[in-house]
Each structure stands twice: as structure tokens, then as C-alpha cells.
Amino acid sequence: MKKFMIFIRNMNSVVLAIVSLTLAVLISGVIMALCGYNPFEAFGAILVGAFGDKRAILQTLTQATPLIFTGLAYTFARKASLINLGIEGQLYAGAMVTAVVGVMDFGMPMAIHLPLALGAGILAGGLFAGLVGFLKVKFGSNEVIATIMFNKVATCLVAYLVNYHFLAEGSGSAQTEKVLETAMLPRLFAKYQLTIAIIIAVGACILVKYFFEKTVVGYEIRAVGQNQLAAETAGIKAGKLMILTMFISGAIGGLAGATHVLGVDRRLMIGFSPGYGFDGIAVSALAAENPVGVILSGIVFGALRAGSMVLNRTTSIPTEFTNVIQALVVLFVAAPLLVKEMLGVNLMKKLEAGKEEAADE
């Protein structure tokens, strides 16, 4: 027991992440129990719904794909100590432009059309976030508030564009025309929604890890994140790098929207994102802001989402509690002192101190 306590006291980020997730699940379980549901039954059903058979696992990976992208986008900005809360807006911007390029019929082959559609989404997301970076560097406007405001602007703008300029003919709901075959992301298994987007997502995570560990620019961005003044003294152009960081972070967010449009819905549907952009914050927190950890953490939350969707079909338990779990993870990971206290480390310390005092006397 004592050894366990010492282990917890010195816990590193991985242990903190696992403990935080466990605490968040426990708390939501208690809430479920208070509302009259059986939490063991519920989480059992979630596990089966997320990993029970091939369909479940593929659904988990499909749900994980946008979360890996948005988690990576948030993580990327964090490396420069920037907080990008605008991933939701960047995702919609990317989705919009991709959906427009996706329906363009110039007789392009897939080898041109698909990369073009993806690239357009990446660029749109990147420019949207890069603008925030520019405003921060040039005018000192706080990026946390600016990105939240841009989220609202982006969702309104996309709703306007879809409703007034790109509405699918004869459609009852607000959505664009279906993208052409040549722009669709190939599916990995027939009849399942999982596409090669998951491979792109994993590849992007590895690429970002490589970028920060092996390239000069990556190193410089981390230097800015750790100590902007020191980095500038060393001759690093912090402003430019911060704009670049926001651009890439937004580009990854745009890619999340682009792959959703080309892979899952095959068109842009208003309100398609249940808040993927904000989920990225929790994904990144659970991954301790490690780009490769984002893959695993995205799958964990993807599983939670896939499992709770099955749960929602069979019982009346709302899927919203997954969002509560995510928010709690963000708070717990940010508050190691709280987690230690909840695990009774302080109590142990006091007991030990008491013993020592007794020994001294």
C-alpha cells in the first residue's frame, strides 16, 4: 500500500492520465447510479458496443478518426503554448471548402481530385486559424477568446453558404450535393464507414512527432512554447513561428472536417459535428499532449462514443455523459494536486509525518 502511494505521489503524465480517466469514469458512474441506472451494466454494454465484434471495432475506429485529428490539432498548438479553441470552426471551414471542391466536375481522375479536395480543406482550416495567430502576434488579441468567436462566425457562415448557395436540390435538410466518386475517400472494408482517413490520421500523428523531435522548426516552436523571451533572445522569430503553429494546427482541424465530408457523410450536412473540435481538448489532455499518445487517446474516446451510441439505442441512458467524462478528464489532468488528494496521498503524508514526530519524541 505504501509503495503504491509513493508510486502515485511521483506519478508521471501517463499514470496521471490513466488515473484521471478512471476517476472521471467512476464519477460519471456515480451520477448514473444516482439517476437510477446501473453503471456496471452501462459500462459493460459500452465495452461490448465498442470492442465486441468486428462491426463494433470498426465503428470505434470510425468515431476515433476525427478525434485523433482534432486532438492532434490542439496538441500541435500547445507545443507553442498556444490554446486553439477554434478547431470546431476550422473543422467546419475545411469541411465547407472540401465539400465545394468535392462536387466540382472537371473530369479529374481520383489521383488529382481527392488530394485537391483534401488540400482545399487543409488550406481553409489553416488560413482560418492562421488569421487568429496573426491577430495575436500583430495586435496581441487573446487567442482563447478569438478562436471561440471565430467558431461562431464559421458555423454561421457555413450555415449561410450551404442554405443560400450550395443546397442540394430537392433535399429536405440543409446539406450540400453528394461529392463525386473521384473525391471519395476509399473505404477499408465494404459496407463499413471506416476509410483510409484513419491511416492518414495515424500518419499525421507520427509525422508531427517527427517534426517536433527531428526538425529545426519543430525545435524552435517548442523553444517558443517553453520560454518566448528566451527563444527571442536566442534569435528565434517567435511571432512568425506562432502564426505558423496556428496555421498547421488549423490545417489539421480542417483535415478533420475534410475527411469527415469525403469519408463518412460524403457531403456536408449542417450540424454534422457533435463538437469534435472541443473533444480534441480532452483527447490531447489524456494523451499528455504527446502526438503519438493522441492515437491511443483518440481511440479511447472513440470507443466511449461508439459504445454509448449502442447503449443509447438499447437503453435510455443519454450519450451526453461521454462529454461529461471528457470534461472531467481535462480538469483532472490539469490538476495533479487534486488527483493526488482524492487518492489520499495527503492523508498518507500526514500519517507518515505523524509517525516521524512520534519517533522523534
Partner 1 sequence: MNNLTAYLIPILTATVSMSVPLIFASVGGVYSVRSGIMALGLESMMMTGAFTAVVGAYYTGNVWIGILCGMAGGALLGLLHGLLSVRYKVNQVISGIGLNLLALAATTLLMQLLWGTKGNSPQVPSVGIYIGGLSVLVYVMIVVVIVAWLVLFKTRFGLRLRTVGENPKAASTVGLRVHAIKYTGVLICGTLAGLGGAYLSLDHMDMFVRDMTAGRGYIAVVITILARYNPISVVFCALVFGFCDAVQIYLQGQGIPSQLIQMLPYIVTLLVLTFGVKHITPPAGVGMHESD
Site for partner 1 (CB under 8 A): which residue of 1, 216, 229, 337? 337
- Residue from the set 152, 240, 349, 350 that interacts with partner 1 by CB under 8 A: 152
Site string for partner 1, 249-278 (x = CB under 8 A): -----------------------------x
Half-sphere exposure of 126 (CA within 13 A, CB side): 13
CB of 97 to partner 1, least distance (A): 17
> Quick check: helix, strand or coil at residue 269?
strand
- 318 contacts partner 1 (rule: CB under 8 A): yes
Residue 67 corresponds to which cell in the numbers above?
478525434
Q: Judged by CB under 8 A, does residue 93 bind partner 1?
A: no
Pick the closer one to partner 1 by CB: 218 or 318. Answer: 318
- In this chain, which of 15, 57, 144, 217 binds partner 1, going by CB under 8 A? 144
Residue 167 binding partner 1, by CB under 8 A: no
Question: Could you count the other beta carbons within 10 Å of the beta carbon of residue 212?
Answer: 19
315 binds partner 1 (CB under 8 A): no
Q: What are the residues whose beta carbons fall under 8 Å from the beta carbon of 86, sequence distance 6 or more?
A: 128, 129, 132, 146, 147, 148, 150, 151, 154, 250, 253, 277
Find the binder of partner 1 among 140, 170, 172, 235 (CB under 8 A): 140
CA 42 to chain centre: 24
Q: Which stretch binds partner 1 (CB under 8 A): 249-257, 259-267, 300-308, 330-338?
A: 330-338
Residue 35 as a binder of partner 1 (CB under 8 A): the answer is yes
In this structure, are residues 332 and 23 in contact, taking their beta carbons and an 8 Å threshold? yes
Q: How far apart are CA 151 and CA 159, in angstroms?
A: 12
In this chain, which of 8, 159, 188, 345 binds partner 1, going by CB under 8 A?
159
CA–CA distance, 266 with 198 (Å, rounded to integer): 16
Q: Which residue has the cell 495575436?
A: 136
187 phi, psi to nearest 5 deg: -85, 150
CB atoms within 10 A of CB 292: 15
* Binding interface with partner 1 (CB under 8 A): 31, 35, 83, 85, 135, 139-142, 144-146, 148-153, 156-157, 159-160, 163-164, 278, 281-282, 316, 318, 320-321, 323-324, 326-328, 330-331, 334-335, 337-338, 341
